[in-house]
């Protein structure tokens, strides 16, 4: 295992702030009705709404569970809501409106797209403290603060690992992104970070797909077959991989926006008789860590959604009861909740942890 002191610090920080075991999954759109806990010391009830992109992705399930445990501990009334699918802005907007109408003190949200941001500005104007989790909004004024992974760094990590793993071979790359009909920061930052880690000039770092399709990466020649949207889902990953395979059967590297898309891509390549393609991803859930161990995913960048939501609930509690506002990490415009590269095939010069260590701090 190639595990530096820096990654050890990240791991200890996450482990100390995360949940050892998750509570049962709550249904989207319902109130958790948390009334347990007396730590509010008789203060008036604090209402908080957690609005995630979808509950079909275990990342957001873990986030919900983290928020519920923190709310139970602090005596906060937590309402859960979610889009019907990744990218469902309308349902999120309605959930924001509901939070305003209920008189909630704060909103925690993983924005599904820029269409949600006007509603968030309205919530802030109404006096709610708005925290983005995982996905920074395109309009900084839409939220008070963001708690998130450094998604560009996460992409860089898997890009550097991929370049080293290729050992000078030509990289024929499939880029499996999130959307092709809207720009979301997490989508762009991961994609562009991966290319940067590979040593490929990403051209405009605010756009996906505008880089040169052929050229050289840090270890040799590359060809990008294309970008395809997955909606962050397994079936989307399979379809996107099949589409790009039909264009070029020599693909040997697959970048994926998340682990559900990665697993779908793996299925497509396996069905095509190409199971040895290098698949890399970002998430670090327990299922994804097992897929790394099983050789389905070569490397993944582990995030910590439980920590994001726990910190978010605590921040609103502290703001209401102590007047203390959360602050961003030094040198960043958001609070960095940490990332670690997970692989059982460490590469020289690339910091990583193995699947045994990652399994001890994974989620889902």
Mind giving me the DSSP string for 18-38? S-SSPPPPPPTT-B-------
Helix ranges, the chain (H): 5-17, 58-74, 89-102, 117-125, 151-166, 185-198, 234-247, 259-271, 286-293, 305-322, 355-359
Q: What is the pLDDT along the chain (364 residues), one digit of tens a residue?
A: 333 333 343 433 343 343 232 222 222 333 344 333 334 444 578 999 999 999 999 999 999 999 999 999 999 999 999 999 999 999 999 999 999 999 999 999 999 999 999 999 999 999 999 999 999 999 999 999 999 999 999 999 999 999 999 999 999 999 999 999 999 999 999 999 999 999 999 999 999 999 999 999 999 999 999 999 999 999 999 999 999 999 999 999 999 999 999 999 999 999 999 989 999 999 999 999 999 999 999 999 999 999 999 999 999 999 999 999 999 999 999 999 999 999 999 999 999 999 999 999 999 6
Residues 6+ apart with CB under 8 A from 162: 171, 194, 197, 198, 253, 255, 278, 280, 298, 299
**pLDDT at position 27:** 26
pLDDT at site 364: 64
What pLDDT was estimated at residue 275?
A: 87
Quote the CA–CA distance of 249 and 265 in Å, as a whole number.
14
By C-alpha distance, which of 134, 223, 215 is closest to 175?
223
Q: pLDDT, tens digit, for every residue of 103-148?
A: 999 999 999 999 999 999 999 999 999 999 999 999 999 999 999 9
> The pTM is what?
0.84
CB count in 10 Å sphere of residue 286: 15
| Of 327, 342, 349, nearest in space to 296 by CA | 342
Q: What is the pLDDT of residue 45?
A: 87
pLDDT of residue 43: 53
Q: What is residue 36's predicted lDDT score, i.e. its pLDDT?
A: 34
| DSSP-assigned states of every residue in 307-342 | HHHHHHHHHHHHHHHH-PPP-PPTTSSSEE---EEE
Query: Closest Cα to residue 115, out of 134, 91, 131, 99?
Result: 91
Residue 306: closest CA among 45, 41, 52, 65: 65
* Continuous segment of H or E residues that includes residue 82: strand 77-82
Are 83 and 231 in contact, with CB atoms under 8 Å apart? no
Instruction: Please choose, from the candidates 130, 167, 132, the residue with its C-alpha nearest in 3D space to the C-alpha of residue 147.
Output: 132
* 283 phi and psi angles, rounded to 5 deg: 170, -70
């Amino acid at each position: 295992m190639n595990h530096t002191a820096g990654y050890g610090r990240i791991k200890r920080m996450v482990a100390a702030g995360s949940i050892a075991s998750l509570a049962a999954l709550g249904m989207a759109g319902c109130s958790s009705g948390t009334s347990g806990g007396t730590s509010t010391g008789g203060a008036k009830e604090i209402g908080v709404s957690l609005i995630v992109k979808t509950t079909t992705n275990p990342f957001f399930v873990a986030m919900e569970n983290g928020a519920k445990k923190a709310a139970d501990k602090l005596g906060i009334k937590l309402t859960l809501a979610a889009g019907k699918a990744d990218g469902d802005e309308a349902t999120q907007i309605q959930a924001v409106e509901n939070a305003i109408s209920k008189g909630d003190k704060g909103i925690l949200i993983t924005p599904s797209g820029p269409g949600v941001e006007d509603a968030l500005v309205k919530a802030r104007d109404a006096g709610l403290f708005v925290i983005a989790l995982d996905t920074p909004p395109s309009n900084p004024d839409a939220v008070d603060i963001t708690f998130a992974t450094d998604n560009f760094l996460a992409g860089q990590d898997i890009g550097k690992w991929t370049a080293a793993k290729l050992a000078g071979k030509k990289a024929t790359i499939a880029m499996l992104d999130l959307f092709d009909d809207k720009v979301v920061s997490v989508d762009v930052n991961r994609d562009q970070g991966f290319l940067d880690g590979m040593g490929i000039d990403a051209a405009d770092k605010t756009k996906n797909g505008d880089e040169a399709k052929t050229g050289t990466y840090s270890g040799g020649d590359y060809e990008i077959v294309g970008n395809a949207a997955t909606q962050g889902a397994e079936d989307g990953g399979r379809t996107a991989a099949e589409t790009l395979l039909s264009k070029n059967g020599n693909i040997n590297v697959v970048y994926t926006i998340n682990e559900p898309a990665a697993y779908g891509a793996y299925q497509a390549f396996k069905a095509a008789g190409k199971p040895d393609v290098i698949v890399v991803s970002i998430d670090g859930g327990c299922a994804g860590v097992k897929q790394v161990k099983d050789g389905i995913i070569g490397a993944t960048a582990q995030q910590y959604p439980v920590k994001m939501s726990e910190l978010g609930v605590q921040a609103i509690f502290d703001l209401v009861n102590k007047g203390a506002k959360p602050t961003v990490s030094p040198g960043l415009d958001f609070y960095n909740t940490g990332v670690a590269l997970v692989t059982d095939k460490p590469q020289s010069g690339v910091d990583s942890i193995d699947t045994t260590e990652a399994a001890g701090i994974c989620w889902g």
